[in-house]
Structure formats: structure tokens, C-alpha cells
Copies of this chain bind each other. A is one copy, B any other.
Amino acid sequence: MKIGERWKRAFELSRKRITPSRKAIVEVLEEQRKHLSAEEIYSCLREKHKKVGIATVYRNLELLSQMGIVHRVNFGDGKEHYEIARIPALHHHHLVCTVCGRVIDYQDFRKEEHEFMEGLGRVLETKYDFLIQSHQLYFYGICKDCRLKEVGE
């Protein structure tokens, strides 16, 4: 099932209204498939001549995150970023360069990783009486370019 069809159903179920702003925000994230900040999404919308206020962008990113339609990710650069949620089979994680901020999406070991996380998640649910909804894994390090620059200096 395409994510595009899915989110409309989710809106109906949760009794949230389907508005032009919401459609436009999801559209931008689906097209770009990148990690965009609220401000970047706002700019994209302006370029497309969709007039949506910045407050509405923030409000809806919050809502869409809670609904699981978008993922909010934080790379430690002082602002939140958002990306469209992929189907579970395409779930991915992040590799962050602590020097230049470059972020790599990786999905290697998707299956093993997913199994491991599922198993761990189940144990935690039982032990801590939590209902687990999602997880995020970040690896931090130094990318090739930044390592070369360091040596050069």
C-alpha cells in the first residue's frame, strides 16, 4: 500500500480534518524524501505557491509525527528535521558526521536489525510496562572528507 493513500485513512480514523496545508506538507515530504527542517518545508511550500503559515507548518509536523506519518529526527544541530515515514520493510537509520553534520541514511542489515529491535522492544515492553511505538538508532562519527581535512591541517 502506498503511504499516500494510507495517511488519508489515518486522518479519517483519528477524526482530523484533511486540509490543503496538511496535504501540501505531506506532498513536499513525499517528493523530497529528505530530512527537512520546518523552515525548509515552509520555503518549499512558498516556492510551490502554496500559502501556509509557518505556525501551521509546525503544528502539522507535530500532528503528523504523532500519527506516525512523518518521522521527526534530531541530528544535534539545534533544529528538528522531518522525513516521510517509509513502510516498515524500508525502515532505516542514521549515520551522522559530528564534524560537518552530514547524514547518511542506511538500511543495511534491515532484517537482522529489525528482528533484534523487535526482540529487544518486546522485552522492554514487559519489563518496564511500556507500549513501544517506534525506535531510532543513531551512529555518530567522522566522515571520510572530514578525516582527510583533519590530516591536512
Residues of A within 8 A of B (CB): 66, 72, 74, 76, 80, 95, 97-98, 104, 106, 108-109, 113, 116, 120-121, 123-125, 127-144, 147
- Taking chain A's interface residues, is the majority helix, strand, or loop, or is none over half, making it mixed? strand
Q: Is the CB of A123 within 8 A of B108?
A: yes
B98 touches A133 (CB 8 A): yes
Contact between B135 and A139 (Cβ–Cβ < 8 Å)? yes
Shortest CB–CB separation between residue A134 and chain B, in angstroms? 5
* Cβ B120 vs Cβ A113 within 8 A: yes
Quick check: B144 and A140 within 8 Å, CB to CB? Answer: no
Contacts A76-B74, A108-B124, A113-B120 known; A97 to B138 CB distance under 8 Å? no
Q: Most chain-B Cβ atoms within 10 A of its Cβ — which of A128, A132, A147?
A: A128
- Judging by beta carbons under 8 Å apart, are B130 and A95 in contact? yes
Selected from B131, B134, B143, the residue in CB contact (under 8 A) with A130 is B143
Residue contact B140 to A137, C-beta cutoff 8 Å: no
